[in-house]
A and B are shown apart, each in its own frame.
Chain A
C-alpha cells in the first residue's frame, strides 16, 4: 500500500501544481514579449511634457481661468525661433543628450478653417514609434483681441 501512489490525491496535487505553473508562465509571458512589441511609452511622455510646457508656460497668455489661452505674439515667436534654429530648440526642451536624441514636429492647426497656421520641426519618419499629444487651445491675437480655436499637435520620436 505504502509503495503505491495514492491515485486520486497525488493526481490532483500534481494537476494543481501543473495548472499553477501554467498560470504563472502565462501571467509572465506577456511581460517577456513586451520588449519586442511596438512601445511608445517614453516618447508619449516626452510629447506630453513638451505640450504642457508650451501651452502652460512658453506660449501662455497667463489667464488663470483658462490655462490653454495662448498669446499670439508668443506663438509666432516660438515657431520663428524654432524654424530658424531647430538645434537650440531641441536642446532647450532637453531632447538632446550625449546618448539619446529625440526629434520633434509641432503644428498648430486652426479648427475653424482647418488650415495649418504654423509648423516646425523635422519631417515625420516613415517607420518607428512616434509619441503624439494634441491640445486644444485658444490663440489670442494681441493687436486685435481676436480669438481663434486651434489644435496644437506635438509629435516626438
Chain B
C-alpha cells in the first residue's frame, strides 16, 4: 500500500513538472514561428525563377561538388578546405541568418524507390536542438539541366531516377534552423 502511494506520487511529480511554461511548446512558440517564416521566406526567395530561367536554388544544386560545408565564422569551408563560392544560398544565409546567430543546416533529400530517404548534407553545422524548425522546398532536376551527368552523379550522389525519360530527380531541399 505504502509503495503504491509513493510510486503514484513520484509518477505524478514527473508528469506534472513537464507542464511548466518554460517548456518548448509554449514559451518558444513565437521564436519557432519566426524561424519558420524566415526559413520559408529564404527558400521561396532562392527558388524564385526570373522569366523562365533556373532559380538560384536549382543553380546551387547543379553547381554543388558534393562536399559538406561548415561555417567557420568567416566562410563556409568543406573538409577538404574548399570555400563555398558562387552559391546564392550561402550568400543569403551569410547576410540574413549568420548575423542573427541562428544555427542552420541545409540538406538535399532524395526519396528512393523503396520509400527510403537519402540525405546529403550541403551546409552542416551540427546536430539541431529539440526546438529546431525544418522548412523544405522541392526542386525538380531534368536531364537537360545537367551538363555532365556522370560527373554530377559521382560527385554529389544524386542519381538519375528514371533513365528512360528527361526526368532526373526530385530534390527536397531541407533547411533546419535553431537557436543556439
Binding site for B on A (CB under 8 A): 8-9, 12-13, 15-16, 19-20, 23-24, 26-27, 30-31, 34, 40-41, 44, 48, 63, 65-69, 111-112, 133-138, 145, 147, 149, 151
A9 touching B2 by the CB < 8 A rule?
yes
Residues of B within 8 A of A133 (CB): 34, 37
Smallest Cβ-Cβ distance to B16: which chain A residue: A23
Q: Which of B43-51, B59-67, B113-121, B171-179 makes up part of the contact surface? A: B43-51
Residues of B within 8 A of A34 (CB): 21
B44 touching A66 by the CB < 8 A rule?
yes
Q: How far is the CA of A67 from the CA of B51 in the complex (A)?
A: 16
A16 touching B44 by the CB < 8 A rule?
no
Partner among B8, B37, B41, B42 whose Cβ is within 8 Å of the Cβ of A16: B8
Cβ-based interface call for B180 (8 A): no
Partner among A31, A40, A135 whose Cβ is within 8 Å of the Cβ of B37: A135
Given contacts A19-B13, A27-B19, A48-B33, A136 and B96 within 8 Å (CB-CB):
yes
Q: How far is the CA of A63 from the CA of B22 in the complex (A)?
A: 40
Using a CB-CB cutoff of 8 Å, which residues 91-110 of chain B contact chain A?
Answer: 92, 95-96
Measured CB to CB, the closest approach of chain A to B56, in angstroms, equals 10
Partner among B8, B21, B34, B45 whose Cβ is within 8 Å of the Cβ of A68: B45
B6 touching A12 by the CB < 8 A rule?
yes
- In terms of DSSP, what is the predominant structure of the interface of chain B? helix
A111 touching B92 by the CB < 8 A rule?
yes
A20 touching B20 by the CB < 8 A rule?
no
Q: Which 6 residue pairs across A and B have the least CB separation, nearest first?
A: A136-B41, A66-B48, A30-B21, A23-B16, A111-B95, A16-B9
Partner among A9, A30, A68, A69 whose Cβ is within 8 Å of the Cβ of B20: A30
B5 touching A13 by the CB < 8 A rule?
yes
Residues of B within 8 A of A63 (CB): 48
A147 touching B41 by the CB < 8 A rule?
no
Cβ-based interface call for B141 (8 A): no
B2 touching A65 by the CB < 8 A rule?
no
Query: Could you say which of A24, A41, A133 has the most chain B C-beta atoms within 10 Å of its C-beta?
Result: A133
Using a CB-CB cutoff of 8 Å, which residues 72-104 of chain B contact chain A?
Answer: 92, 95-96
B9 touching A136 by the CB < 8 A rule?
no
B20 touching A27 by the CB < 8 A rule?
yes
Q: How far is the CA of A138 from the CA of B47 in the complex (A)?
A: 11
A136 touching B16 by the CB < 8 A rule?
no
Q: How far is the CA of A30 from the CA of B93 in the complex (A)?
A: 37
Residues of A within 8 A of B33 (CB): 48
Partner among B1, B12, B30, B92 whose Cβ is within 8 Å of the Cβ of A20: B12
Interface string of B1-27 (1 = CB under 8 A from A): 110011011001100110111100000
Q: How far is the CA of A83 from the CA of B37 in the complex (A)?
A: 27
Q: How far is the CA of A147 from the CA of B16 in the complex (A)?
A: 53
Residues of B within 8 A of A15 (CB): 9
Residues of B within 8 A of A27 (CB): 16-17, 19-20
Cβ-based interface call for B146 (8 A): no
Cβ-based interface call for B38 (8 A): yes
Query: Could you say which of A9, A30, A136, A145 has the most chain B C-beta atoms within 10 Å of its C-beta?
Result: A136
